[in-house]
């Protein structure tokens, strides 16, 4: 079977969507990062189980914990956006509905991300 792509497209790795493997790799990199980050998050939640609000604020006041929590949020929300984008592009065939769904996905992820980042920063700086 012959490859119908131009030599430039072969070098850039662009397929029919003109996005190449970039989206694929971003999704895989965030998935690998999430293995470690979500593990940290689960351990943190378990360790804070039954703690008072002041204990949680103190834990989030630790710069290392706050930075890791920010990374959990950024990586998780970005991974969620990428995953939903693939689902929308694969299963919504009407262009108008697809554009609206992609816009909704972007705004939803931004809203969730900004809200959780605000909460962590507020707790990190003394709640």
CATH of the domain at 61: 1.20.1300.10
CA nearest to 122, candidates 60, 55, 78: 60
- For residue 22, what are its two tokens? 């970039």
- Digit-by-digit pLDDT tens for the chain (127 residues) are 566 666 766 666 555 556 668 889 999 999 999 999 999 999 999 999 999 999 999 999 999 999 999 999 999 999 999 999 999 999 999 999 999 999 999 999 999 999 999 999 999 887 6
Burial class (CB in 10 A: 0-12, 13-18, 19+), 11: exposed
- In a domain? residue 3: no
- Return the pLDDT at 127: 63
- Return the pLDDT at 23: 87
- Mention every residue, 6+ apart, whose C-beta is less than 8 A from residue 3: 10
Instruction: Give me the number of domains the chain comprises.
Output: 1
Rounded to whole angstroms, how far apart are CA atoms 115 and 53? 19
Question: What is this structure's pTM?
Answer: 0.81
Cβ atoms of residues 96 and 104 within 8 Å: no
**Domain region containing 119:** 19-124
Q: Which residue has the tokens 């972007």?
A: 106
- In a domain? residue 106: yes
- In a domain? residue 2: no
């Amino acid at each position: 079977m012959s490859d119908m792509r131009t030599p430039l497209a072969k070098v850039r790795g662009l397929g029919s969507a003109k996005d190449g493997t970039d989206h694929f790799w971003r999704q895989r990199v965030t998935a690998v990062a999430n293995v470690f980050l979500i593990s940290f998050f689960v351990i943190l939640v378990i360790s804070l189980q039954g703690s008072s609000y002041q204990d949680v604020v103190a834990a989030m006041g630790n710069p290392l914990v706050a930075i890791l929590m920010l990374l959990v949020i950024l990586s998780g929300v970005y991974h969620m956006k990428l995953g939903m984008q693939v689902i929308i592009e694969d299963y919504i065939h009407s262009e108008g509905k697809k554009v609206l769904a992609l816009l909704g996905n972007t705004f939803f992820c931004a809203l969730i991300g900004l809200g959780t980042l605000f909460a962590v920063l507020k707790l990190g700086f003394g709640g």
